[in-house]
Amino acid sequence: MKKVIYFSLLSVVIGVLLMGCGSDEVQPRAINEETDKCPVCNMSVMDNQFATQVVMEDGLSHVFDDIGCMYVWLDENPDEEIAATFVRDYNNEEWIQSEDAYYVYNMDVKTPMAYNMISFEDQASADEFIAENAGELIAADALADHDWQMNHEMMEGHGHDHEGDHGHGEMDSDSHTEEGESTH
């Protein structure tokens, strides 16, 4: 009887251990609106459909307030060991791995840092948004090559002061250099 109990217990333990082996999937962490700041623009990160996240191999997470900020950071940190990147569905705010999402670029969509890019969990939702609001469908694998420029007209409407553009690309060539230094 002791052998039966022993082997039954051993089977349960092995089963639990084997089930745990497959649960190493990287997950995004919860956003704390009171303390989380975007490492690119230093703005507070709201827990909404614009938030994005990079999870590092060591478990550290970086959260961003705009898809554009995440891609600027990725471009500026090419040697980082990244486990996964996440975006949120524009409609239901659920986390999606960035490579599985569908993206719409629309200059009229107000995103936190005016990169005007939003994400969807399925192509049908992205197509529906485009049909109702216009925009361009962009594949996930094309985002690394996207020209991540802020919509400066929209930023002026937000009342943000982004002199120097926080490394987000070129400024207006009449008054600033690429580094944001005044040319006057």
pLDDT at 153 (0 to 100): 84
In a domain, residue 8? The reply is: no
Mean pLDDT, the chain, as a whole number? 80
Q: How many helices (H) and strands (E) does the chain have?
A: 4, 7
pTM for the model: 0.73
Length of the chain: 184
Q: Is the pLDDT of residue 158 over 80?
A: no
Strand boundaries in 16-143, DSSP class E: 52-56, 61-64, 82-88, 95-97, 102-105, 117-120, 136-138
In a domain, residue 142? The reply is: yes
What are 165-175's pLDDT values in tens digits?
Answer: 444 333 333 33
User: Residue 138 has which token pair?
Assistant: 């962009």
What residues contact residue 108 under an 8 Å CB cut-off, 6+ apart? 116, 133, 134
Domain enclosing residue 68, as ranges: 28-162
In a domain, residue 55? The reply is: yes
Q: Strand, helix or coil at 102?
A: strand
In a domain, residue 153? The reply is: yes
**Domain count within the chain:** 1
What are 65-95's pLDDT values in tens digits?
Answer: 999 999 999 999 999 999 999 999 999 999 9
